């Protein structure tokens, strides 16, 4: 069965104008954003439109082969300039990793550690809000994508990431952001799946960040935040990976 699905995928999607940086396959088209995710949110009264979400190519989101999202492909386009440098060893920490993304980073040959609070298919289980197992200034590159909207104390999480990052390190810290959200929503009374879907758009989220508040919190945690737009990166790779113009990468470094 698995063979037949793979064969179907090759016949239907392989070859074409795009090239997924995560799995290196040439492909005809990426999958659009999952409709079930949106319908679940919408039917519970979530008022925001997923077409107005930052760093999302709504029509061309997931790779049909490795299922990487456009944001993960964007991270790898950015990270490639560091990881392709074989003159030094980078120490990398990746939160809640996608399997294909993880494999792609490992292939560069640096020191890579995957982590998650609950999953067992990672190198180490860590709570981003309290990483007591990790010494100060351990990692050069940290990827914390779509994690802080799930955790009880995101400010503590940001401070912890700051603590374990080396002084010259960089962290990609991203959360779901909708352009129309003007202030962060977070309320402990939203304590059922239905209420979380209505207010945050997903039943395992515990807040919905507004962009300005998210940036303010990163600054308060001690970060300088560079906002990298797609046109500042390798243009051909951006095109091949269907990265939307609305994308913004938040690259955090330690404030001097
Ligand atoms: Zn792929």
Q: 255: how many CB neighbours lie within 10 A of its CB?
A: 11
Range of the domain at 69: 30-254
What is the whole-number distance in angstroms between the Cα of residue 68 and the centre of ligand 1?
A: 6
Please report whether residue 218 resides in a domain. yes
The β-bridge relationship of strands 14-19 and 26-27 is antiparallel
Please report whether residue 247 resides in a domain. yes
What is the whole-number distance in angstroms between the Cα of residue 196 and the centre of ligand 1?
A: 31
User: What is the b/e burial string over 82-113, where b = at least 16 CB atoms within 10 angstroms of the residue's CB?
Assistant: ebeeeeeebebbbbbbbebbbebbeebebebb
* Cα 93 from Cα 105, distance rounded (Å): 11
What is the whole-number distance in angstroms between the Cα of residue 110 and the centre of ligand 1?
A: 21
Please report whether residue 14 resides in a domain. no
Please report whether residue 5 resides in a domain. no
Q: Which residue from 49, 25, 53 is spatially nearest to 39, judged by alpha carbons?
A: 49
Please report whether residue 92 resides in a domain. yes
What is the whole-number distance in angstroms between the Cα of residue 146 and the centre of ligand 1?
A: 19
pTM over the 0.85 mark: yes
Please report whether residue 11 resides in a domain. no
pLDDT (tens digit per residue) in 8-66: 777 777 888 999 999 999 999 999 998 998 999 999 999 999 999 999 999 999 999 99
Contact between 65 and 9 (Cβ < 8 Å) = yes
Looking at the structure of the chain, the number of domains it has is: 1
Residue 256 has pLDDT above 80, yes or no: no
What is the whole-number distance in angstroms between the Cα of residue 235 and the centre of ligand 1?
A: 18
What is the whole-number distance in angstroms between the Cα of residue 214 and the centre of ligand 1?
A: 29
User: What is the b/e burial string over 191-229, where b = at least 16 CB atoms within 10 angstroms of the residue's CB?
Assistant: eeeeebbbbbbbeebbbbbbbeebbebbeebbbebeebe
Assign residue 99 the CATH number of its domain. Answer: 3.40.50.150
What is the whole-number distance in angstroms between the Cα of residue 9 and the centre of ligand 1?
A: 12
Please report whether residue 196 resides in a domain. yes
Residue 251 has pLDDT above 90, yes or no: yes
Query: In the sheet that 91-95 helps form, which strands lie side by side, from edge to edge?
Result: 124-125, 111-116, 91-95, 139-145, 165-174, 249-254, 223-228
What is the whole-number distance in angstroms between the Cα of residue 206 and the centre of ligand 1?
A: 30
pLDDT (tens digit per residue) in 105-159: 999 999 999 999 999 999 999 999 999 999 999 999 999 999 999 999 999 999 9
Please report whether residue 248 resides in a domain. yes
Contact between 162 and 136 (Cβ < 8 Å) = no
What is the whole-number distance in angstroms between the Cα of residue 159 and the centre of ligand 1?
A: 33
Q: Tell me, what's the pLDDT at 42?
A: 95
């Amino acid at each position: 069965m698995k063979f037949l699905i793979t064969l179907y995928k090759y016949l239907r999607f392989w070859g074409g104008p795009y090239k997924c940086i995560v799995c290196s396959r040439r492909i005809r088209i990426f999958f659009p954003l999952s409709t079930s995710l949106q319908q679940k949110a919408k039917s519970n009264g979530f008022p925001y439109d997923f077409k107005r979400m930052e760093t999302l190519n709504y029509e061309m989101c997931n790779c049909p082969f490795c299922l990487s999202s456009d944001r993960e492909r964007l991270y790898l386009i950015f990270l490639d300039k560091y990881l392709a440098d074989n003159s030094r060893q980078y120490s990398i920490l990746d939160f809640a990793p996608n399997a294909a993304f993880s494999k792609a980073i490992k292939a560069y040959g640096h020191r890579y550690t995957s982590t998650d609070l609950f999953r067992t298919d990672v190198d180490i289980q860590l709570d981003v809000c309290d990483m007591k197992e990790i010494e100060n200034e351990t990692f050069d590159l940290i990827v914390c994508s779509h994690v802080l909207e799930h955790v009880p104390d995101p400010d503590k999480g940001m401070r912890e990431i700051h603590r374990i990052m080396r002084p010259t390190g960089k962290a990609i810290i991203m959360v779901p952001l909708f352009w129309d959200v003007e202030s962060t929503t977070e309320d402990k009374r939203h304590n059922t799946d239905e209420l979380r879907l209505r207010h945050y758009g997903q039943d395992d989220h515990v807040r919905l960040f507004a962009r300005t508040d998210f940036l303010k919190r990163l600054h308060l945690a001690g970060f300088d935040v560079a906002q990298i737009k797609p046109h500042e990166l390798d243009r051909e790779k951006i095109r091949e990976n269907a990265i939307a113009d609305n994308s913004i990468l938040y690259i955090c470094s330690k404030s001097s």
